[in-house]
């Protein structure tokens, strides 16, 4: 049973007849330039928008009301309330999501030195991003989706966030899909590579297979796909 399957999915003018499959759980990278359709694909998997045509499956189940509860979705824009403290942001998440693990979130905010009493608007940009990632990682949903969690951040913070995701996603029972337009920094963290351009999925491959059976790096295979 595959993690995600798209069958001939059409959506507005963004996706035409898109078919691909992610066969296994793990850390999945969705790479593509701005406007390639990444965000649309993520919204479709999360069941937040519906395709005009075609079918989408998550863990063998047609995407819909049932699967929506199995996805923790973190949108690209900042979605925290600026006037809430860190602690209040955690409390709100606990009220909104039945799968929210407050203890995990508290442990992570302490570990990353986020002051519980500080209002979100007074946090640095990097720390606001950390808090968003913590709130998403603290949900026990089988699938976590993060839309461009690294964009607009400095390289150290980006690296830090990737480490957090690799360490705190519960990979025994959770998968995570992360979209980004930069591949180099995420390459070593990926189980599966998805590469999109102009609404088409040019690559969907297990990354260690590429290295093992074809002797290719992620960049090699992306270059080849663009030829």
Partner 1 sequence: MTHSFQHSQPIYTQIMDIFFQRICRGELGPGDKLPSVRDTAVEVGVNPNTIQRSYMEMERRGVVETRRGQGTFVTADIELLERLRQELTRNQIFLFLESMRQLGHTPHDIMSMINSSMQAKGDTKS
Helix axes 125-137, 86-96, angle to 10 degrees: 30
User: Residue 142's closest CA among 54, 60, 209, 41?
Assistant: 60
Q: Going along the chain, which residue ranges are E strands?
A: 4-11, 15-22, 27-31, 53-58, 61-62, 71-74, 143-146, 175-180, 192-197, 200-206
- By the rule CB under 8 A, 211 interacts with partner 1: yes
- By the rule CB under 8 A, 212 interacts with partner 1: yes
Nearer to partner 1 by Cβ, of 4 and 63: the residue is 4
Q: Of 144-183, which residues contact partner 1 (CB under 8 A)?
A: 159, 163, 166-167, 171
- By the rule CB under 8 A, 188 interacts with partner 1: yes
72 phi-psi bin (left φ>0, alpha ψ -120 to 50, beta other):
beta
- Contacting partner 1 (CB under 8 A), which of 190, 193, 194, 203? 190
- Contacting partner 1 (CB under 8 A), which of 52, 220, 224, 226? 220
Q: Which helix (H) or strand (E) holds 51?
A: none
Nearer to partner 1 by Cβ, of 202 and 218: the residue is 218
Query: For the purposes of burial, counting CB atoms within 10 Å of the CB of 181, is it exposed (0-12), middle (13-18) or buried (19 or more)?
Result: middle
**Contact characters 26-55, partner 1, x per CB under 8 A:** xx----------------------------
Read off the tokens for 19: 């078919």
b (16+ CB within 10 A) / e for 63-85: beeebeebbbbbbeeeebeeeeb
Q: Of 107-146, which residues contact partner 1 (CB under 8 A)?
A: none
- Contacting partner 1 (CB under 8 A), which of 219, 223, 224, 226? 219
Nearer to partner 1 by Cβ, of 56 and 143: the residue is 143
User: Residue 222's closest CA among 203, 207, 209, 199?
Assistant: 203
Query: Applying CB under 8 A, which part among 12-20, 84-92, 102-110, 185-193 lies near partner 1?
Result: 185-193
Count the site residues for partner 1 by CB under 8 A.
Answer: 21
Query: Applying CB under 8 A, which part among 6-14, 61-69, 126-134, 211-219 lies near partner 1?
Result: 211-219
Q: Rounded to an integer, what distance in angstroms lies between the CA atom of residue 78 and that of residue 127? A: 12
- Contacting partner 1 (CB under 8 A), which of 69, 182, 198, 208? 208
> Which spans of this chain sit near partner 1 (rule: CB under 8 A)?
26-27, 159, 163, 166-167, 171, 187-191, 208, 211-212, 215-220
């Amino acid at each position: 049973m595959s993690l995600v399957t798209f069958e001939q999915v059409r959506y507005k003018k963004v996706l035409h007849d898109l078919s691909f499959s992610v066969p296994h759980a793990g850390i999945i990278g969705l790479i593509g330039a701005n406007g390639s359709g990444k965000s649309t694909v993520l919204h479709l998997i999360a069941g937040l928008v519906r395709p005009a045509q075609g079918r989408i499956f998550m863990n063998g189940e047609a995407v819909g009301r049932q699967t929506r509860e199995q996805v923790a979705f973190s949108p690209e824009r900042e979605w925290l309330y600026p006037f809430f403290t860190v602690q209040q942001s955690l409390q709100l998440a606990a009220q909104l999501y039945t799968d929210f693990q407050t203890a995990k979130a508290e442990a992570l905010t302490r570990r990353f030195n986020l002051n519980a009493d500080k209002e979100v608007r007074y946090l640095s940009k990097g720390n606001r991003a950390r808090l968003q990632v913590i709130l998403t990682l603290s949900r026990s949903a089988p699938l976590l989706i993060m839309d461009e969690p690294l964009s607009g951040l400095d390289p150290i913070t980006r690296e830090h966030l990737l480490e957090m995701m690799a360490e705190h996603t519960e990979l025994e029972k959770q998968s995570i899909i992360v979209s980004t337009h930069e591949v180099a920094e995420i390459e070593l963290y990926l189980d599966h590579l998805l590469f999109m351009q102009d609404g088409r999925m040019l690559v969907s491959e297990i990354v260690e297979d590429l290295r093992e059976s074809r002797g290719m790096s992620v960049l090699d295979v992306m270059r080849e796909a663009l030829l």
